[in-house]
């Protein structure tokens, strides 16, 4: 029998979160993910030992209990790195015990590869994402969509969509792990229970998890990974997301401090485009970001010298007389608080409701703010923002909302997400489809729109009408002659 002491396990205290627990790391998925079937419909990958996931869950529970007791007994509070180092040793002791139990029961001794795989699985379940971790580590996977423990779809970075293997042995096990995952964070813990059936969580590495259970037929989970962190408009042009002319226009608009709202459906690339727009902001400008869960990560990209990043926090327990839970911190509060931070720009991750009034105040106080919202097209985004503004109460009339928005928002950039199927494989295409200018105007709507860029035959934004007020963008580097040339060609 091979003991734990015989396994060569290197330690890197500077990056315990990525500790190699194993002498021989399990390799990533070999070959393309496309075509893989869910667990039970295809043979086990021969490069991955056939693990007893029930035992992994039991060992994770034991390790969690032992770790909690050790931390409580230690008067000096252990930091995350120390906790993971302690957890590592606990996991290896439990692996030794489980191996001994297997042999004593007359079973086969585990190979070193099997011990390493078990150690990885238990550690991932304790500190990382359990059976989801290999998918999150796979650079080809962009989004993970789960509608039950054995119904897993993977959206890949090449735009294709394929089926993945099961991430738990039952829906109950998946829910149990999500509850554990939600509660273990010290700085961003969330409740997840029948009383709180929704979960939104920021994960290590910048991914975002959204989950629902008890109010859905089966547990539903979506993990969004942000592959394009440090991105520019020119790089998006190279990816065929927008034309060079549209990129030039948006670059000049950001530098001219135009307030911009990026709209689109879920997964259309709004956050990616906002990062690219922010890359055009001078590195010495003071920026504030406001998000329900960190996704922009401007404070980690080292592109700007001053970035104050706010993250909303849900409350817990019963609601008070004011309708709020203890500890709740909203985007509305964050935006109001930010007025004392001498910010040059406010970047709102997403406008969903009444926090739009804080955004309007920010736009009225300064210029050059950037926000996102969900909408089906650019004009629909204006109507959506009006609805959000009116959620503040009956004192906000339609006329007041539209007049405020028309006076503060300059441009709306709409992203289109299209899915096509070829040879049985689905592909997703993201592109900037429209750019419209907003200004006060018509009596019926309270605002006037001008389609600066409209979709061409391929659906990508092409030059249409350039308002006179935007011809001054030439001073910010906008190639006006290129715009006019393409505009004339369209006519």
Mean pLDDT of the chain: 80
Q: Do 291 and 263 lie in a common domain?
A: yes
Among residues 66, 100, 127, which one ends one of the domains? 127
* Structure confidence at residue 110 (pLDDT): 86
The answer on 161 and 112 residing in a single domain is no
Q: Which residues make beta-bridge pairs with 260?
A: 370, 411
Check whether residue 97 and residue 216 sit in a common domain: no
pLDDT of residue 197: 93
Model-level pTM?
0.70
442 versus 420: the higher-pLDDT residue is: 420
- Choice between 477 and 316, residue whose per-residue pLDDT is larger: 477
Taking 80 as the threshold, does the pLDDT of residue 19 lie above it?
A: no
* CA 320 to each of CA 102, 199, 305, 315, 324: distance values in angstroms, whole numbers, following the listed order: 53, 21, 40, 11, 6
- Angle (CA) 431-463-486 rounded to 5° is 120
Confidence check: pLDDT of 38 > 50? no
Q: Are residues 120 and 161 in the same domain?
A: no
Farthest-apart Cα atoms in the chain, separation: 84
Higher per-residue pLDDT: 330 or 80? 330
Residue 30 has pLDDT above 50, yes or no: no
What CATH number does the domain containing 191 carry?
Answer: 3.30.450.90
Residues 321 and 451 in one domain: yes
Per-residue pLDDT tens digits for 179-191: 988 887 655 567 8
> Cα separation of 182 and 196, whole Å?
11
| Together in a domain, 410 and 369 | yes
* Residue range 269-322, pLDDT digits in tens: 898 999 999 999 999 999 999 888 788 888 888 889 999 999 888 776 667 676
DSSP H helices in 264-410: 270-278, 331-337, 356-365, 378-390, 398-408
Q: What mean pLDDT comes out for the span 46-73?
A: 78
Same-domain pairing of 109 and 171:
no
Q: How far apart are CA 301 and CA 307, in angstroms?
A: 10
* Average confidence (pLDDT) over 94-116: 86
pLDDT, mean of residues 243-270? 92
- The reported pLDDT for the residue numbered 490 is 52
**Whether 418 and 349 share a structural domain:** yes
pLDDT for residue 142 is more than 70: yes
pLDDT at 88: 87
Pick the last residue of a domain from 110, 127, 144: 127
Query: Sign of the CA dihedral 236, 237, 239, 242?
Result: positive
Confidence of residue 84 (pLDDT cuts 50, 70, 90): confident
Average pLDDT on 138-150 reads 90
Domain final position from 160, 192, 227: 227
Q: How many CA atoms, within 13 angstroms, populate the side-chain half-sphere of residue 106? A: 0
Q: Beta strands 220-224 and 448-455: pairing type?
A: unpaired
Q: How many domains does the chain have?
A: 3
Q: For the packed helices 171-183 and 53-73, what is the interaxial angle rounded to 10 degrees?
A: 20
On whether both 340 and 437 belong to a single domain, the answer is yes
- Sequence length of the chain is 491
Reduce the DSSP state of residue 45 to 3 states and report it. Answer: coil
**Shared-domain flag, residues 171 and 100:** no
> Please, which pLDDT band fits residue 375 given cuts at 50, 70 and 90?
very high
The yes-or-no verdict on residue 413 having pLDDT over 90 is yes
DSSP letter at 313? B
Whole-number pLDDT of residue 362: 73
pLDDT score of 417 more than 80: yes
Pull the structure tokens for residue 47: 């490069």
Give residue 155's pLDDT.
87
pLDDT reported for residue 213: 95
Cα-based distances in Å from 71 to 84, 86, 273, 398: 11, 9, 43, 55
pLDDT at site 186? 53
pLDDT-based confidence at residue 40 (cuts at 50, 70, 90) = very low
- Same domain? For 121 and 156 the reply is no
pLDDT score at 49 = 59
Q: How much is the pLDDT for 36?
A: 35
With pLDDT > 70 as the criterion, what percentage of the chain qualifies? Answer: 82
Q: Exposed, middle or buried: residue 30 (CB in 10 Å: 0-12, 13-18, 19+)?
A: exposed
User: Residues 440-459: what's their mean pLDDT?
Assistant: 85
Contacts (Cβ under 8 Å, ≥6 apart) of 416: 264, 268, 430, 431, 432, 433, 455, 459
C-alpha to C-alpha distance for 448 and 442, rounded to whole angstroms: 6
Tell me if 146 sits within 8 A of 222, measured CB to CB. yes
User: Are residues 37 and 79 both part of a single domain?
Assistant: yes
Give the pLDDT score at 33: 37
* CATH number, residue 464: 3.40.50.300
Those residues whose C-beta lies under 8 Å from the C-beta of residue 407, and which sit 6 or more positions away, are 364, 440
Q: Domain range holding 6?
A: 1-127
Residue-level pLDDT at 8? 35
């Amino acid at each position: 029998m091979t003991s734990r002491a015989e396994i060569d396990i290197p330690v890197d205290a500077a990056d315990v979160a990525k500790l190699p627990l194993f002498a021989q790391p399990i390799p990533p998925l070999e070959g393309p993910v496309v075509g893989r079937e869910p667990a039970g419909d295809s043979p086990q990958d021969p490069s991955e030992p056939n693990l007893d996931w029930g035992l992994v869950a039991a060992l994770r529970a034991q390790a969690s209990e032992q770790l909690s007791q050790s931390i409580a007994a230690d008067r000096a509070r252990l930091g995350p790195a120390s906790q993971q180092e302690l957890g590592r040793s606990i996991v290896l002791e439990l692996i030794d015990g489980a191996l001994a139990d297997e042999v004593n029961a007359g079973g086969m001794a585990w190979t070193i590869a099997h011990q390493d795989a078990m150690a990885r699985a238990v550690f991932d379940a304790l500190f990382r994402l359990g059976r989801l971790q290999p998918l999150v580590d796979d650079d080809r996977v962009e989004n993970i969509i789960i509608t039950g423990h054995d119904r897993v779809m993977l959206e890949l970075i090449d735009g294709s969509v394929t089926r993945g293997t099961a991430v738990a042995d039952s829906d109950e096990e998946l829910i149990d792990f999500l509850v554990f995952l939600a509660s273990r964070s010290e700085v961003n813990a969330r409740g997840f229970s029948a009383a709180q059936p929704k979960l939104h969580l920021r994960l290590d590495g910048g991914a975002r998890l959204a989950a629902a259970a008890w109010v859905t037929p089966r547990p539903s989970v979506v993990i969004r990974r942000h592959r394009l962190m440090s991105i520019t408009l020119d790089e998006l042009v190279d990816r065929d997301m927008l034309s060079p002319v549209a990129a030039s226009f948006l670059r000049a608009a950001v530098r001219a401090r135009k307030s911009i709202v990026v709209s689109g459906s879920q997964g259309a690339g709004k956050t990616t485009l906002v990062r690219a727009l922010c890359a055009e902001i001078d590195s010495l400008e003071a920026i504030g970001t406001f998000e329900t869960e960190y996704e922009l990560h401007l404070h980690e990209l080292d592109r700007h010298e001053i970035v104050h990043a706010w993250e909303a926090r849900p409350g817990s327990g019963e609601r008070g007389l004011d309708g709020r839970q203890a500890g709740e911190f909203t985007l509305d509060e964050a935006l109001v608080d930010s007025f004392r931070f001498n910010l040059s720009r406010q970047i709102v991750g997403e406008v969903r409701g009444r926090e739009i009034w804080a955004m309007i105040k920010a736009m009225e106080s300064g210029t050059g703010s950037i926000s996102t919202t969900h909408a089906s097209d650019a004009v629909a985004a204006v109507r959506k923002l009006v609805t959000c503004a009116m959620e503040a109460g009956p004192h906000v009339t339609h006329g007041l909302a539209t007049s405020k928005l028309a006076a503060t928002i300059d441009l709306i950039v709409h992203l289109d997400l299209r899915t096509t199927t070829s040879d049985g494989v689905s592909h997703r295409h993201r592109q900037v489809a429209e750019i419209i200018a907003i200004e006060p105007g018509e009596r019926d709507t309270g605002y006037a729109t001008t389609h600066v860029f409209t979709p061409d035959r391929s659906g990508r934004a092409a030059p249409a009408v350039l308002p006179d007020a935007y011809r001054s963008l030439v001073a910010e580097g906008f190639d006006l002659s290129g715009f006019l040339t393409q505009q004339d060609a369209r006519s």
